[in-house]
Structure 1
Amino acid sequence: MSAELHDLLTEPDFPVRWTDTAPGGDHPEAVGLRQLFLRAHEISALAIPLPPALSGLYRILYALTARITELDVSDNWHAERDAIVQLGHFDPADVDRYFGAYPDRFRLYDPAHPFLQDPRLTEECDKPAGLNKLVTTRPSGSNHAWFQHSVDARPHPVSPAQALQHLIVWRYYGPSGRCAARTVRGTKEANSTAGPLRSALSYHPLGRTLFETLLAGLPEPDRARRYVRAEDPCPWERDTPTDPLTLKGAVTGPMSKLVGHNQHALLLVPDAQGAQTVNAYISWAYRERIPRDDDYVIWQTSQAGNRYARYADCRRGLWRDLDALLLKEPPGVETRRPPVIPTAIDVFDDEQGLRIQALGIDQEGQAKDKQVVSAITPPVVQLMEERDGIQARLVGDLRLAGERAGRRLDRAVKKAWALFSNTAKAEDCAWSAAAAAHYWPAAESEFWQRLQQRHFEGAAQVFRSITERIYDQVTKTAAGTARGARACESARIELYGGRPKKTPGP
């Protein structure tokens, strides 16, 4: 029965990497949830290959960490978390106590309480969505094949571990728009709202072990409000599912915000032996949109005063976000760093501890996914504003110098192209794309090298020298003609900030 239901507590569905100092003996490539927590201090990192699945799994593990350690109901949160850090591992008795209280709630194919799924979909949906729809790296319907070829009529079954990863991606990053029709108490709809992390980049504190990573990733509870576990259940703790026609009870506290903030409802269909997933139901979870709120994204404010999460962009290096993680108020646009970062610092004492991992998908609001995004900073705990405010601001100035030079280079090549080709607009000119492809990797290399050496003086001049070299390289094909030479030299001044504006005389 356990094999057919596929119990995540014991089945090795979570690939891991072990620390070099882990005791000799059994070091499997993957473990179950129970072993994941019991041996978290011996695990260096999760080895989930799909970045958005790892982002969502982190949030699930944060919620489990809070429940296991009882930090979610702590009156002295910082002191009690510090005591657990000093202990160096999760208490096995605490792990067994929590999982023992929900022995049937972590089964992937359980008919009554399938993990993170809605069993009502078999009756409320007209038909399954198809396995290729579930697997986010496969094409479905008439979409283009990007990662692999697959035919809807003959989909290849996937393992429970793979199905779980794509289930998590759908819950957090699922698209808006058309989905399977679902009828609830006379209301039949076939469209859904985008997932809570759709198109957003997620930032996670990363320690030397999974134990450190999970404790550092815990959001600090709101001190002005006391939460009761019964009033803020995780999805697997509910005896009855929430009402799809109302948001009442959907997100009631920090734990349900971590794991219950989903706009898509799914149900996996296994084969007869429960060894593989062969189909899936995918539909809407709520008719209303849950207000977007997350402790692991950089929040920005638009000119209209609207708050939005910084987008995942496969063309944008992580160094361009670093000061927004180190500083409370980074230079430039109005930005608020992820709320989890300030409390994560307290877990780490030495400079080799805290790193930050960025995860997400460069995607549009609906079906189009461009590329997954994953990057990790070097150790940065000593650069945090709370540890060294001067160094943190210098990092912000260094990033700003690199950004400013890049913008000026973009304006210069576009203006040169417009003058050379006699075009009114040059938004998508070939010179602009070529200049960006050369500049940003060179600027990133310069940034990390200077950061490692703590050398911040003269950065603006060095970034400007890089733009001069790239500008000449990109425009050299036109500079051999008289018209091209005039255009290139006329636009070159944009590399230095453009012509000064004339002030009116007295």
Structure 2
Amino acid sequence: MRGGPGESVVLGLGEVLRWAHLLEHVDCPDPASESALLRVLIALTARVTGLDAAEDWDENRWDVLEAGRLDPGRIAAYFGQYAGRFDLFDAERPWLQEPRLAGECTGSSGTGRLVMTSPSGNNHVWWPLDKGGLGGPIPVETAAFALLTWLFAGPSGTAANRRRSDGRNSHYTVAGPIRALVSWFPAGRSLAETLVLGVPSPETWPTNPGRDEAPWETEQLPDPRLPAAPVGPVSLLTGRAAHAVLLKPDADGALVTDTWVTWAWENELPEAEDPYVIRRDEGGPVRANSARVAWRDLDALLLKTVPGKTPRYRPAVLASVARLPRATAAGLRLRAYGLHQERRDPETAWFTAVTPPVLGYLEELDEDGAAAVSVTRARAEGTASGLAKALRAAWQGFSGDSKVCPWVDSALPVYWSEAEAEFWRAVVPDGDGVRAWPAFQKVAVRVFDAVTETAALTPRGMQAVEEARAAMLRPPKGRKTKQQ
């Protein structure tokens, strides 16, 4: 389909790869399906570029980046090899689905269960259900994105009953591999560049024995008793689903009229390291939090390791970006997809964010720049803590309540939003290479005054507010603070 600058067009997977050099980015209904689709597209890019092979990997990647587009002949050959395997409604191997569910499940799930933004379980009600409570027919495009969301970010809990190998029925599922996490992708000038840069480098690949295959490439359907460990980049990015899904189309194939959603494996999936998440020694990858602005994690992306009580390690995909020439990396942004969820059904918020071009400040490329990011972020955090402490003190003096301070919850989101401009001023140098001093304290004072304005109109409140404000501005003992 034709589309001009700024317009969106509907394309199949092969067409997306073919025209990726002319596209800015993928446009999905929500961050969950977009994060999942990017993983699939990056796996396909690895296949059609040869970046799924470790030999001369950096040189091969540079050749593809210099070409500026993916080879249409190799794309056509790949999709021709697996003709039918990318059909959502193929009779034998529907794409990314388990065709045996219709016979192995005691009942279907309905379309209302498939679309996570529709009413189901403990989710918020956005769409009305039909009288049967299972949802009405949905467009095939909606179902395709919902399929991706379930396979990558589906919740744990109950689903359709599916017969196990021992003859018993089970309806319990575990959470999908990216559920509740925030994923980070390097973002280039075009979708083609983004996809090539998103292929993780060989030293980060899993090393389990076997063939590195996507679900649509395998000769046989998977054995539910034996969840396979990922072998290379393609199986790592496409073969980690914890759920099994089957879509039922109408006669024309334009609508999905019913679905089956249930567990995919009788045993736990082997552990694997996702290349797009910030890792920790304890607690698993960094979880998404819609109240946390993306730039607060920037030092955990640019530095190899952020030390602390629980060290954080940058996403593995950035190891290969750090081997690019600095002039190339300096034009690259980061795109974040946050899925603020519980492991079970409730969906709190899904969000996305894009940074300015910052990957030139990776530790290996600009040690001073990476350090400036880390120090500035820490300074912003310290100012936020001081603001929260002052607000609690003012609230206690005004209300006498030392346990709950409503001012903090309303003030901190405003502070972090307004502090972002100061952060980038301090991180990105001007034309003379000078970095500005961030005025975080001025932002904090402005927010403090706005939140406490009404309380300060009373004599009791005025005293409490002024004392807390003065304490917030007072430098720590034994330390001189530059005026902001």
Question: Which TM-score applies when normalising by structure 2?
Answer: 0.89
| CA deviation map 1:245-296 (0-9, x unaligned) | 332x253333211111111110011111211111110001123332252000
2:238 to 235, 250, 259: 259
Match for 2:12: what amino acid?
A: G
Aligned to 1:66: 46
Aligned to 1:442: 418
Aligned to 2:312: 335
Aligned to 2:263: 284
Q: CA deviation at 1:224?
A: 9.3
Which region of structure 1 is more displaced relative to structure 2, 127-136 or 33-42? 33-42
Aligned to 2:408: 432
Q: CA deviation at 1:446?
A: 1.9
Counterpart CA distance in 1 for 2:11 and 2:442 is 51
| CA deviation map 1:322-357 (0-9, x unaligned) | 222111133655110101012135567446631110
Aligned to 2:222: 242
2:178 to 197, 216, 221: 197
Conserved in 2, the CA contact under 8 Å of 1:234 and 1:259?
yes
| CA deviation map 1:113-153 (0-9, x unaligned) | 011111111111111111011011111257531x3333362
Conserved in 2, the CA contact under 8 Å of 1:414 and 1:432?
yes
Within-5 A mapping of 1:358-437 = 358-426=336-404, 429-437=405-413
Conserved in 2, the CA contact under 8 Å of 1:17 and 1:47?
no
Conserved in 2, the CA contact under 8 Å of 1:352 and 1:379?
yes
Aligned to 2:110: 130
Counterpart CA distance in 2 for 1:84 and 1:375 is 27
Aligned to 1:315: 291
Match for 2:247: what amino acid?
A: L
2:200 to 203, 211, 219: 219
Q: CA deviation at 1:475?
A: 2.1
Counterpart CA distance in 2 for 1:91 and 1:311 is 37
Aligned to 2:481: none
Q: Name the SS of the counterpart of 1:268 in structure 2.
A: strand
- RMSD after superposition: 2.7
Conserved in 1, the CA contact under 8 Å of 2:394 and 2:467?
yes
Unaligned runs of 5+ residues in structure 2 are 479-484
Aligned to 2:482: none
Relative distance call for 1:201 and 1:339 in structure 2 (3 A) is same
2:247 to 263, 268, 274: 268
Unaligned runs of 5+ residues in structure 1 are 1-11, 21-26, 502-506
1:473 to 441, 446, 450: 450
Aligned to 1:4: none
Aligned to 1:24: none
Conserved in 1, the CA contact under 8 Å of 2:208 and 2:230?
no
Match for 1:431: what amino acid?
A: W
Counterpart CA distance in 2 for 1:499 and 1:152 is 64
Relative distance call for 1:499 and 1:391 in structure 2 (3 A) is closer
| CA deviation map 1:32-79 (0-9, x unaligned) | 222222222122211223111110011111111111122212411111
Q: CA deviation at 1:97?
A: 2.1
Q: Name the SS of the counterpart of 2:28 in structure 1.
A: coil
Q: Name the SS of the counterpart of 1:31 in structure 2.
A: coil
Conserved in 2, the CA contact under 8 Å of 1:118 and 1:266?
yes
Question: Which TM-score applies when normalising by structure 1?
Answer: 0.86
Query: Between the two proteins, what is the percent identity of the paired residues?
Result: 36
Counterpart CA distance in 2 for 1:224 and 1:399 is 31
Q: Name the SS of the counterpart of 2:453 in structure 1.
A: helix
Q: CA deviation at 1:187?
A: 3.2
| CA deviation map 1:6-26 (0-9, x unaligned) | xxxxxx7xxx97668xxxxxx
| CA deviation map 1:172-194 (0-9, x unaligned) | 11111111111122132111111
Aligned residues: 470
Match for 2:91: what amino acid?
A: P
Aligned to 2:441: 464
Relative distance call for 1:187 and 1:36 in structure 2 (3 A) is same
Q: CA deviation at 1:482?
A: 4.0
Match for 1:130: what amino acid?
A: G
Counterpart CA distance in 2 for 1:101 and 1:227 is 26
Q: Name the SS of the counterpart of 1:261 in structure 2.
A: coil
Conserved in 2, the CA contact under 8 Å of 1:269 and 1:279?
yes
Q: CA deviation at 1:494?
A: 5.4
